[in-house]
Structure 1
Amino acid sequence: MIRLRGLWFQIHKWLGISLAILIIPISLTGAALVWHDWIDRQLYPERYPVAGSADLPPSAYAVGALKLAQPGEQISMLTFPQENGAVQITLTKQPAGGGRPSRAIVWLDPKSAQPIERGGPRDGALGLLHVIHGTFMLGPIGRQIVGWIGVAMLLSSLTGIWLWWPLKGSFARGLRWRRRPDFNSNLHHTGGFWIALPLAVLSATGVWISFPAVFNPPNGPQSGPSQPLAAPAQSPDEAVAAAQLVVPGEVASIAWPTDKKAAWIISVRSEGKPVEVSVKDSDADASVANATPETFARTMRRIHDGTGMPLLWQVVIFLGGILPAALAVTGILMWLRMRRRRRKHRRSAAAFAEEEALAN
């Protein structure tokens, strides 16, 4: 048991020391991104005009967004604000050489449909946080690095629980603050215990996201990304009118028909719940779309970033970003303190041996 504990200690120690410089930026950016929407409001207040509800027809917002569209870009999605805020339109462009389409977002005044701003999903400070957290700004290779750091953090969490467990005494003894003589050690042991299991969950879900091909292998041949139709047969106004005949209510979003599925998808808020209505682009035939169950991959991502999760879990994720950064620092300080003690002990032993030699 003692030997096994010593092995876990060495694994835990060297994982923390060697990866501290990488764990800290991942942890802190993850903590900040939990409050993505709030930060976005503080950084870009112009995107959230206090102008009331969006009462214009969808086609008016489509025309307004196209004023800022670049050549080759087409509208793929229109999203209405739930409360105050701008109408958002997503523009998509298929690269000439193939590959993933590029996306841009246009924010529009809900009352006038005049464009407020255009930006990319990874532009600005929040975009930088996303890129650092997901890839270290190194592209696909960085994504792999982040994934393996997640594996290391998962191991560190589990070995930390083992090392926290008291060798002597009850479980309650391990919950005491003063288990060690210095502040850093007490913070490391206590904070590490309380965040260990949530951090293990966040690390495991982060690994899942970083290695999608491993955990979500493609089924069958890949047909490539879909592209919005350049000239749909129905206008967005006609599609919305057809959808509201089936499900009356306030429209939340409109997805344009694509070359893979020639149907408008209208999300309608009915009795406080979103209901998706499919409207065929050819003849405006509308029907309630079959509810698509959330994929396991999407569930893993929501657990990891807190989207749509209870506030309590979002707070846990936030602490799961702050505490690992603090634990990395305190772990290094504990290691340096131990090295100083060992050097002092070796010097004392050498001095004592020298004195003994002189005395003899």
Structure 2
Amino acid sequence: MFFSAIAAEDEDGYEKQMTKYQLRRWWFQVHKWIGITLAVLIIPLSLSGAALVWHDALDGAINPQRYRTTGSTLRTPGAYVAAARARLGPGERLAMLTLPEHGGPVTVAAAPARAPDRPGPPQRTMIYLDPPTARVLDVASSAAGLVRFVHVLHGSLQIPGGWGRMLVGWLGVAMLVSSVSGLWLWWPSVGRWTRGFRWRRRPDTNSNLHHLLGFWISLPLFVLSLTGAWIAFPTFFGALVGQGNPRGPDRMMQARAAPVAAARLPVDVAVARATALAHGKVRSITWPTEKKPDWAVQVGPRSVSVADDDGVAALAPERAGQGGVARLMRRLHSGEGMGPVWQTIVFIGGILPAVLAVTGVIMWWRTRARSGAKPRLSAVAERAPAGGL
């Protein structure tokens, strides 16, 4: 009886050990094939996200003429409107004015007189103005330039029609799983967990680099993957926190609507009505359109709608899926307004997944090469003579 009890305990321990081994092997397969099959997409997605952390610095390095401002003192919006109108092309109408938050130029976006026929974000003519003087610094298309290319690459992998954004969202889900499975595989299967920090866990530098970098990036990668998936699928994630998307007008359709030919309310009056209702710094002013004849003035975190016909101002309800949690997710993902420490973490969190993708593929390729070499050695051994001369 005593020996049968010991045998039963040994059998239970063996089964638990096998279950743990099988689970670890399953996680390994999931982690491996996510990295191998999606590496070609993860690398440009990660590197473009890292570059966009320093968006203004990148744009300033490529287009220095836009940032040759003479100060940060702001004039009235009407002064910038007058300067921008002088540079409008035939048929163009003012669509939006954005004031700088942390230095840089004032930007005015102009749209064509008729809504574009092609799908996707509307193309705008961007006019960059010096804040103290309203002098035009640069005029460029919103669809041109390297920075715009990087934005579209990160948001949709340059795939049009909404499919790219959905693909990027599912890549975020895959990277979320990869970060969790990678942490599981990093955890030592025997001994203390501190053994995971040893450099020589594997015989080659590439594998050791993959294990250690994977551990240190696992938590930031989890956050960036979650926030990226949240941005791509706001309806699903918003519903989880009670901020789901109620049905309403298509935001893209609103953005593509042509601005009115001539607004009835002067821009300075619209801003005065908005700031009387909401207190804070004016961040942007959007012109009335043919689909929505109201001004939209962003004052601090709130948007104020000002009727173009009678000037009545009202606090606009928060856009669907753009509540406090969704706004935080966007800031965590981009690093905007989160301070230099988090911005540096986000930047490194964009670089290291690309490194891990490369090192992971190298590990897989070397394993394939070794496993392919064993049958060849066995075949040579079988053909070799059994005895000597």
Query: What's the TM-score, normalizing by structure 2?
Result: 0.77
Q: Please give the secondary structure, in 2, of the residue aligned with 1:137.
A: coil
Q: Which residue of 1 aligns with 2:151?
A: 130
| CA displacement 1:279-303 (0-9 Å, x = unmatched) | 554455668x479595244333222
Question: Structure 2 vs 1, CA of residues 198 and 62 (structure 1 numbering), >3 Å: closer, same or farther?
Answer: same
5 Å matches for 1:1-360?
1-54=20-73, 56-82=75-101, 84-93=103-112, 94-95=114-115, 97=117, 101-140=122-161, 141-212=163-234, 215=237, 219-222=246-249, 224-225=253-254, 228-240=259-271, 252-258=283-289, 260=292, 262-263=294-295, 265=297, 267=299, 281-282=308-309, 284=311, 289=315, 292=318, 294-295=322-323, 296-355=325-384, 357=386
Structure 1 gap ranges (5+)? 268-272
Match of 2:9 in 1: none
Q: Which moved more, 1:74-83 or 1:136-145?
A: 74-83
Q: CA 1:213–1:246 in structure 2 vs 1: closer, same or farther (change >3 Å)?
A: closer
Q: 1:172, CA displacement in angstroms?
A: 0.9
The amino acid that maps onto 2:130 is D
- Which residue identity lines up with residue 249 of structure 2 in the other structure? Q
SS of residue in 1 equivalent to 2:191: coil
Q: CA RMSD in A?
A: 3.3
- Aligned to 1:139, the other structure's residue is in SS state coil
Rounded to whole Å, the distance in 1 between the matches of 2:167 and 2:154 is 11
CA distance in 2, matches of 1:233, 1:298: 33
Asked if structure 2 preserves the Cα contact closer than 8 Å seen for 1:240 and 1:266, the reply is no
Measured in 1, the distance between the counterparts of 2:177 and 2:302 equals: 42
Q: Tell me the CA shift for residue 275 of structure 1.
A: 7.7
1:38 is displaced (CA, Å) by 1.2
- Contact 2:94–2:108, Cα closer than 8 Å, also in 1: yes
| Percent identity between the two aligned chains | 46
Task: Determine helix, strand or coil for the equivalent of 2:124.
Answer: strand
CA 1:58–1:149: 2 relative to 1, 3 Å: closer
Call closer, same or farther: CA 1:21–1:255 in 2, change over 3 Å.
Answer: closer
Q: Is the 8 A contact 2:207 2:363 kept in 1?
A: yes
Deviation at 1:190, TM superposition (A): 0.5
Kept in 2, the 8 Å contact 1:95–1:102? The answer is no
**Between Structure 1 and Structure 2, how many residues are aligned?**
353
Cα offset for 1:310? 2.9
Cα distance in structure 2, aligned partners of 1:286 and 1:261: 13
Q: Once the two structures are superposed, what CA deviation does each residue of 1:12-56 show, in whole Å capped at 9, x if it has no partner?
A: 112212222221111111111111111111111111123124554
Q: Which runs of 5+ in 2 are unaligned?
A: 1-19, 239-243
The alignment's TM-score, normalised by the length of structure 1, stands at: 0.83
Judged with a 3 Å threshold, the aligned counterparts in structure 2 of structure 1 residues 137 and 292 are, in CA distance, closer, same or farther, namely closer
Question: Offset at 1:261?
Answer: 5.6
Amino acid at match of 2:138: E
